[in-house]
Amino acid sequence: MKDFKLWTITFLIIAKMVVTESQIPTTLDGPFKPVTHRLDPSLRKGSSDLPMDDPRIKRNVTSNFPEQIALAISSPTSVWVSWVTGDAQVGSNLTGLDPSSVLSEVWYGKESGKYTSVAKGVSTVYSQLYPFKGLLNYTSGIIHHVRLKDLQPKTKYYYKCGDSSIPAMSGENVFETFPTPSPNSYPHRIAVIGDLGLTSNTTTTIDHLIQNDPSMILMVGDLSYANQYQTTGGKGVPSFSRAFPDAPIRETYQPRWDAWGRYAG
Ligand SMILES: *[C@@H]1O[C@H](CO)[C@@H](O)[C@H](O)[C@H]1NC(C)=O
Ligand SMILES: *[C@@H]1O[C@H](CO)[C@@H](O)[C@H](O)[C@H]1NC(C)=O
Ligand SMILES: *[C@@H]1O[C@H](CO)[C@@H](O)[C@H](O)[C@H]1NC(C)=O
Ligand SMILES: *[C@@H]1O[C@H](CO)[C@@H](O)[C@H](O)[C@H]1NC(C)=O
């Protein structure tokens, strides 16, 4: 859901740029000759959800080390860094983690291994409690958000996130800030995806996307089919209502969202 918000915000910024820039053709200037590709028929058969122990979505850190690291562009000079620490839990009689038990720090700089600045942020925990027999509750890991400000546009930054007092910092990651928008400075190749899922075909879709070298990706939804699970450990199914006709509510299985946060292609 976090990711969805990021793309929505990015989309609004882009939409505004396109509207105010008369040099860029709009659909009204068309029609343009569409470029299409034949569909690989093996993609049409539908595919099953990746199991939770698949290396692409399995939790690969222990205790309070950061995972599910995600970036959200706020402006050409500001970026949010978010991540999760600690164990999410599924079951009954759960006790949520204490968000203040792990600090939210980002160490960053323009040279690899040289972190000239430190930014601190906030952390939170959420729970999904179902007052229905047969459904289990969920309480999340600690979700951290840090906003980096006063960055330079179109500049590469190297960073680590985590809690340096434990210490439990991530490995080094890198991002590049957006350029300052101008008539010639905007994302030139925009990829649009829907219904990506988290299945044995998702990687194929992502690979196609990367081959086209997009400067911006707009995901319009249906990221992880978390509502095709029953919290008691059901497998992903094509039709929730047919597989679980007695389910008291169309519930979501939050660990699938955590798996989405980990998925890196
Ligand atoms: C899509 O997934 C199905 C199995 O779920 C597999 O048989 C098929 O080869 C996959 N196709 C591609 C192009 O990845
Ligand atoms: C989940 O939490 C709700 C609200 O506290 C409670 O009514 C329900 O019994 C819990 N479910 C389980 C399986 O413990
Ligand atoms: C949850 O707590 C209730 C009340 O304390 C107890 O009766 C029940 O056995 C507990 N359930 C589990 C699975 O520990
Ligand atoms: C854990 O997974 C992330 C995302 O796939 C990856 O970037 C990272 O290198 C992995 N870490 C380890 C220790 O394997």
Task: Quickly tell me which residue has 């993609």 as its tokens.
Answer: 43
What is residue 10's predicted lDDT score, i.e. its pLDDT?
Answer: 40
Which pair of structure tokens corresponds to residue 186?
Answer: 């905007």
User: What angle, rounded to 10 degrees, do the helices at 2-20 and 255-262 form?
Assistant: 50
Nearest ligand 4 atom to alpha carbon 173 = 7
Q: Whose CA is nearest to atom 4 of ligand 1?
A: 47
Q: Is the CB of 138 under 6 A from ligand 2?
A: no
Q: Is the CB of 136 under 6 A from ligand 2?
A: yes
What tokens does 225 get? 């089919």
How far apart (Å, rounded) are the C-alpha atoms in residues 228 and 237? 6
pLDDT in tens, the chain (265 residues): 333 333 333 433 333 334 444 566 666 777 888 778 888 887 777 778 898 899 999 999 998 999 999 999 889 999 999 999 999 999 999 999 999 999 999 999 999 999 999 999 999 999 999 998 888 999 999 999 999 999 999 999 999 999 999 999 999 999 999 899 988 888 888 899 988 888 888 999 899 899 888 888 898 988 888 887 877 777 778 788 888 888 888 888 999 999 999 997 6
Q: Is the CB of 95 under 6 A from ligand 2?
A: no
- Output the pLDDT for position 95: 95
Measured from the alpha carbon of residue 248, the closest ligand is 2
By alpha-carbon position, which residue is closest to atom 1 of ligand 1? 201
Among 89, 92, 135, which is best to mutate for testing ligand 3, by the most ligand atoms less than 8 A from CB? 92
The DSSP 8-state label assigned to residue 23 in this structure reads: T
The SS3 call for residue 219 is strand
Pick the CATH number of 67-264 from 3.40.50.2300, 2.30.250.10, 3.30.413.10, 2.60.40.380: 2.60.40.380
CA distance 228 to 236: 5
List the domain boundaries for the chain.
Answer: 67-264
Distance 95 CA to ligand 3 centre (A): 12
Q: Are strands 156-163 and 105-109 parallel, antiparallel or unpaired?
A: antiparallel
pTM exceeds 0.85 for this model = no
3-state secondary structure 67-131: EEEEEEEEECCEEEEEEEECCCEEECCCCCCCHHHCCCEEEEECECCECCEEEECEEECCEECCC
